[in-house]
C-alpha cells in the first residue's frame, strides 16, 4: 500500500512540474539595476531589449547609466540579445545595433507578436526563457504578455513627450527618478 501511495504522489508531482508558470513581471529604475545572476537563475536564455528611452533617449540626449557595461556582462554570462524598436529612424537603430553588437529589427510594431516571435526564434529559445526589457507598458509589457515572455519594465529616460504620453503618461511609463544619475550621450 505504501509503494502505491509513493507512485501516486510521484505521478502528481510530475504533473505539477508540467504546469506552465505564470510569467514574471518586475519593475526597476534602470537597466543596470537588474541582477544578471538572478536572470540566469530564473532560466533566462535570451533578452529582447527596447532601444528608445530604455537604453538611450529617443532624442539622443541621454544614455541609461551603466547600460553598455551591463549588456557586456550579460553577454559574458551567456545571455543572447535582440533589439526590437518601434522607432522609425532605422539608421539610428542600426547604429546602436552595431555599437552594442546586438541584432535589431525596426520598426517592430510592438505589442503585436510577429517581431517578438521572430526575436524568440532567432534566440532559439522558448518564450518562458526570454525576458522583454523596456520602458513602455503598452508596447513592451503587453507584447511580453501576449507572447508569454517574462517582462521587466524600467523607468523611461527623459525625452520630449508624445501625444499619448501627455494623455496617459503615468499609466504607460514610469518617470525617471530625479535622484538617480543620468548620463549625457556624446557620440
Angle between helix axes 90-100 and 67-76 (nearest 10 degrees) is 50
C-beta separation of 147 from 116 below 8 A: yes
State the burial class of residue 69 (Cβ atoms within 10 Å of its Cβ: 0-12, 13-18, 19+): exposed
Alpha carbons 176 and 154: distance in angstroms, whole number: 9
User: What is the predicted pLDDT for the residue at 1?
Assistant: 46
Task: Indicate the domain borders of the chain.
Answer: 21-184
Spell out the CATH class of 21-184.
alpha beta
Q: How many CB atoms lie under 10 A from the CB of residue 166? A: 8
Residue with cell 551591463: 70
Residue 125's closest CA among 57, 61, 39? 39
C-beta separation of 85 from 95 below 8 A: no
Query: How many residues in total does the chain contain?
Result: 187
- Residue 66: pLDDT over 80: yes
pLDDT, tens digit (0-9, with 9 covering 90-100), for 93-125: 999 999 999 999 999 998 899 999 999 999 999
Q: For residue 90, what is the enclosing H or E element?
A: helix 90-100
- Residue 7: pLDDT over 70: no
**Residue 143: pLDDT band with limits 50, 70, 90:** very high
Q: State how far Cα 96 lies from the chain centre.
A: 16
Global pTM value: 0.78
- Helical spans, DSSP H, in 101-177: 113-122, 142-147, 163-172
User: What is the predicted pLDDT for the residue at 117?
Assistant: 95
User: What is the predicted pLDDT for the residue at 62?
Assistant: 80
User: What is the predicted pLDDT for the residue at 46?
Assistant: 95
User: What is the predicted pLDDT for the residue at 166?
Assistant: 59
- Residue 19: pLDDT over 80: no
User: What is the predicted pLDDT for the residue at 8?
Assistant: 34
Amino acid at each position: 500500500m505504501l509503494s502505491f501511495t509513493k507512485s501516486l504522489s510521484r505521478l502528481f508531482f510530475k504533473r505539477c512540474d508540467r504546469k506552465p508558470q505564470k510569467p514574471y513581471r518586475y519593475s526597476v529604475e534602470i537597466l543596470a539595476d537588474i541582477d544578471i545572476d538572478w536572470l540566469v537563475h530564473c532560466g533566462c536564455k535570451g533578452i529582447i531589449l527596447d532601444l528608445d528611452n530604455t537604453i538611450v533617449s529617443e532624442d539622443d540626449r541621454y544614455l541609461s547609466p551603466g547600460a553598455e557595461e551591463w549588456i557586456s556582462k550579460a553577454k559574458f554570462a551567456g545571455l543572447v540579445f535582440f533589439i526590437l524598436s518601434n522607432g522609425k529612424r532605422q539608421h539610428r537603430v542600426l547604429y546602436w545595433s552595431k555599437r552594442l553588437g546586438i541584432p535589431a529589427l525596426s520598426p517592430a510594431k510592438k505589442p503585436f507578436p510577429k517581431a517578438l516571435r521572430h526575436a524568440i526564434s532567432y534566440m532559439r529559445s522558448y518564450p518562458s526563457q526570454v525576458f522583454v526589457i523596456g520602458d513602455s507598458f503598452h508596447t513592451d509589457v503587453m507584447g511580453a504578455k501576449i507572447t508569454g515572455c517574462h517582462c521587466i519594465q524600467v523607468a523611461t529616460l527623459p525625452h520630449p513627450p508624445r501625444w499619448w504620453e501627455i494623455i496617459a503618461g503615468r499609466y504607460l511609463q514610469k518617470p525617471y527618478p530625479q535622484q538617480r544619475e543620468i548620463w549625457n550621450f556624446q557620440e
